[in-house]
Amino acid sequence: KVIGFQTNGTACDYYTYSADSLVKLPEGMSYEAGAMVEPLSVAVRAVKKAGDVKGLDVLVMGAGPIGNLVAQTAKGMGASSVMASDINSFRLEKASECGIDHVVNPAADDLGEKIKSAFGTEKMADVIFECTGVQLGLDAAVSNARKGTDIVVVAVYGKAPNVDMALVNEAELRLIGTARYNIDDFRTAIDLVNTGKVQLAPLVTDTFDFTDYDAAYKKIDSSPESTMKVMIRVND
């Protein structure tokens, strides 16, 4: 069970946890970076599910915190070129700031044409990561996949989506699920940070003291369009 979701959270001064499930942060890694290792591990798990991405062209649907980290992780693991798609210009700016090769707003530009322009008319994307969590995002992933593409479904959906299985069958697509991470994913995430292959700081858009815990969550609820990750400082 995930603490803070299926069980009580950790918004307290102290809590206990099994030592076997802990990964020690390396010397020199800040607590801020250490906190970001958790969402980065979600991305690591997702990219590992796609297999070896070295030399591949990758499309990431959704450039929120997880989508951004998936895109960065794919690049860090050797992807040749990565495109991030989102209808939020702030998120696309963050993706560019983090070194993502191509960004596209499908509300303003034709996604299919942008994919062809970036990856080639015949080739298109080798693997697609669906990180939007909405029907339109999944539809776009399926409809813009070339024959034989793997689609890794990273997003958590508030409402169960429909899948056009006729398209999946005809194009021989593979839908691959992924959820959370394991302890090895944490170790890989730490290595990506230590080797400079992933940037975490641009994703932290706000920082609050522990005493302002409620304000941090209100910030997320009030301005999701301009919020990526909110950091709560637990010690000075």
Question: Domain residue spans in the chain?
Answer: 52-177
What is the reported pLDDT for 168?
92
Res. 236 pLDDT band, cuts 50 70 90: low
Show the tokens assigned to 22.
């802990």
Per-residue pLDDT of 125-170, as tens digits, reads 999 999 999 999 999 999 999 899 999 999 999 899 999 999 899 9
Which residue matches tokens 């034709």? 110
Give the closest residue to 70 by CA, choosing from 45, 90, 92: 45
Show the tokens assigned to 39.
């969402």
Q: Contact, 91 vs 128, CB < 8 A?
A: no
Query: What's the topology of domain 52-177?
Result: Rossmann fold (3.40.50)
Distance CA 213, CA 129 (A): 32
Per-residue pLDDT of 24-58, as tens digits, reads 889 889 888 999 999 999 999 999 999 999 999 99
Distance CA 208, CA 124 (A): 42
What is the reported pLDDT for 7?
78
